[in-house]
Each structure stands twice: as structure tokens, then as C-alpha cells.
Amino acid sequence: MFEKAAETIRDYYHSIKDFNVSEDDRYILRELSNQIVDIAMRPEQVTKKELWYKHNSLQATKPLILCDPENGWHEIITNDQLICKGELARKWEFLLRREIFWGDSMGDDKPIETIFNVPIIFNESGWGLEVPKEGGKNGGAFKHCSPLKNYKEDFSKLKFPTITVDHDRTNRLYEAAKSTFGDIFNLQKKSVWWWSTCSTDVLGELRGMTEMMLDMYDNPDELHRLSQFLTDGFIHRLEYLEKEGLLSLNNDGTYIASGGLGYSNELPSKNFDPNHITMMDMWGFSESQMTSEVSPSMVQKFILPYQIKVLERFGLNCYGCCEAIDPRWEYIKKIPRLRRVSVSPWANPNKMVEYLQDQYIYSRKMNPSYLATPHLNEDYIRKSLKEDMQISKHCRTEYIMKDNHTLANNPNNVIRWCAIAQEEAHNI
């Protein structure tokens, strides 16, 4: 089942006070779990997995379709649909109903499996400077109040983040899952510890967007110093997870990067030790959408060299999110073992087709605003998909629908988008 980012998992389960599941809730959860098993046994699930394995190894397939509507899920699986009473049971019920919707209604290429990941519960200290946040209620807009105001006064306050695993709560969560549906699902203690391994989000949050861009001219040495510190901190975190045996393979149905599933026969590495998973056994990912308004030469000078120091540790890599990659491609293509490249709504698809050809995955992010209206403009959606699939037909393509803040309370929007995308994918 799809994982959330580590910090979201932390918040998702840290609030749980009672890990007990009542008999009534257990019955409901087991009924839903058995529905997922029935879906997972359908022959098309095997076909979907085979598609992703081929796709991720750069073999020719139809364009793959993946829809994860993010905040829109709360308009698909609403609170009034949940039957369970207990806090933990309701969280699990939401996840199970989401999986059932994916298998029965969504219509994309995500395989449904009989795996249930139980995350590791942990605390993380942060970077030494608190970053206050204004707004953000109910998934809405927010802003960071960046604390690194003055390099001379504030830099010394920075510290590497430290992770403390809450083994007691993790074990209690696992035992609750085991007693609820451990005989139905293959339970795995598994966390996704990052969304991006070395994101410029942290740089922007600590220093501030405006200050970061001005530093490229006014304080280049200090910005390099900060970038190196953050890079060392990212590596320190990853090495800790590796050393403590906390990493898990993501060459399966794990959602990776800014869109895509991790199924791969090229991972883990040839030197794989199942008792000690390393970064080289995994997909890595980074992006720099925070610097979308920064020139390619400045990105090459202040951002990419530091990200490469992290990404070179991974077996396969993905790069990019909402930023346009084509102006930066001459630098980004130097990332070792780069496989998946984001083609956002701000990218020039004609240039990206030329650059990626059949040597990288063309990970096309379609505009989520198309689904934010009560009634879809299906003709326009079909036209935009058809045109893009036509120009990229010789590439290794996937079409991702994500970043949905709303579906205008119409779950049918994702169903219709997937149906149209699949029709055009098969037509091409």
C-alpha cells in the first residue's frame, strides 16, 4: 500500500493513545482486508506489475497511468463513510477503503497487493532552528517563517537532525496490526524515510526563498557553507538509517520520487545483503522546485553539486518535481544512474522528448487543476493527453495525476481522468 512521507507517518501515528482495536472494529477491518485480497487475486494485478518492471527497466510499454489525488482522497473517502469507532481503527479503515477504491474504481495502473506496511514510529530533532509555520489548516496554503536571519549570529545554532525510534510504540502498532489482520496480509515493518533525499526545501525553509536567491549574489560563500552543512546533514541521516538497519527496499510497489512506482529487477545491488540494506540497493530522489526561478548556471553552481554528493550513493535515481527540467538538462543529466525524470506542466515537452528519448523515464505530471471543477472538460483533457502522448510516443512514458488540493467534491473526476488516459494510452 502507498506510503506517506516519513514526517507524515510520524504525525499520523504519534497522536494514537490507544492501540487496542475493539472486536466490532476488528470485524470491519477484516471484512475490508478480505475485499483487498480478492482484488489482489485478479489476473490484471500481475499484468500491472509486469508493466512497471518493464517500464522501469526502459523496455517499451504502453504509457503507464498513475493517479494519487493526495488531498482529494478526503473527498473520495469521507469521514462519514468510516464505520469504525477507535482512532487507530479509523485510520486503518481509511487506508483500506482507499486501496479498495484504487482496485475497484480508480482505473489506473497501480497494482493491488496483499502487503500491509506497518511504519516505524520515531521522533526527529530537526536542524537546531525552529521553523514556525503560518497557515496550513486542512491541507491549505501556509508559509514558513525562516529563522536563519543572520549567518554570523545564527549559523552556529544549526545541528544535524537526529532520529530516535520509539520501539515500544512501533511494536505495539505492529502487534495491533498482527492481531487484526496478520493472517490476511503480509505485514512488513517498513517506513519511507524521505520524499526527497536532499531537497532544497530545507534550504528555503531555514534561510527563506528571497534571502536564498539574494545570497547567490550577495553572500555566495555563506550560501556554499550552508549548502555543504545541509548536505553533510542529509548524508549523516542516511548513514544512520543504513547503519541501524532501518532502511527498506523500495523496488516494489512503493511510491517513489514525485510520481511512479518502484518495481525494478535492477535493484537491489549485486552485493545485496538482506540483513543490511544499503542506499545502493534503493531508488534515490531529489528535486529543486524551490529554485524554479533561478538560472540554470546558478543551480549548477549552488545546488546540483551538493545533491549529486547524496544521489551518487543510490542504485537508481529520480530527479525533478514541479520545476522545469529542460533549461537545466545539461547539468541534471550528469546525475549518476539517473532513470526517472519529471516533466512538469512548466516543462517544454518537445525539448524533454528530445533530451530523454528512450534512455530515461519521461514522468509526465498532468495539471491537477483539470480535476478541480465539478464537471470535467473531457474534450480538453483528452486533447491534452493525446497531444502529449503523440509527441512522446517513442519515449518511456508515465502519466501522473497528483497534487490535487480538491476534486470539487466529485470523486468521479479521478475515475473519468483515468479512463480517458487509459483510452489514449492504448490508442497510441
Q: What is the pLDDT of residues 24-65, one digit of tens each?
A: 999 999 999 999 999 999 999 999 999 999 999 999 999 999
Q: What is the pLDDT of residues 159-197, one digit of tens each?
A: 999 999 999 999 999 999 999 999 999 999 998 899 899
Residue 149: its pLDDT value, please? 95
Q: Which three cell numbers stand for residue 334?
A: 550528469
Residue 133: its pLDDT value, please? 84
Q: For residue 132, what are the CA distances in angstroms to 89, 144, 146, 206, 241? A: 32, 6, 7, 10, 27
Residue 141: its pLDDT value, please? 81
Residue 137: its pLDDT value, please? 79
Candidates 189, 184, 173; CA nearest to 89 is 173
Query: Candidates 3.20.20.210, 3.40.50.2300, 2.60.40.10, 3.40.50.960; correct CATH number of 6-427?
Result: 3.20.20.210
Bridge partners of residue 67, in order along the sequence? 401
For the chain, what percentages of helix, strand and coil (3-state, to nearest 5) are there?
50, 10, 40
Instruction: Compute the Cα dihedral for 108, 110, 116, 121 and give only its sign.
Output: negative
Q: For residue 7, what are the CA distances in angstroms to 19, 116, 195, 220, 354? A: 20, 19, 9, 31, 37
* Spans of all domains in the chain: 6-427
Residue 2: its pLDDT value, please? 43
Q: Which three cell numbers stand for residue 168?
A: 515500544
For residues 31 and 257, what is the distance between their CA atoms, to the nearest angstrom? 32
Residue 173: its pLDDT value, please? 97
The parts of the chain modelled with pLDDT lower than 70 are 1-11, 139
Beta strands in 76-194 (DSSP E): 115-118, 122-124, 133-135, 142-144, 163-165, 186-189
Residue 375: its pLDDT value, please? 94
pTM of the model: 0.95
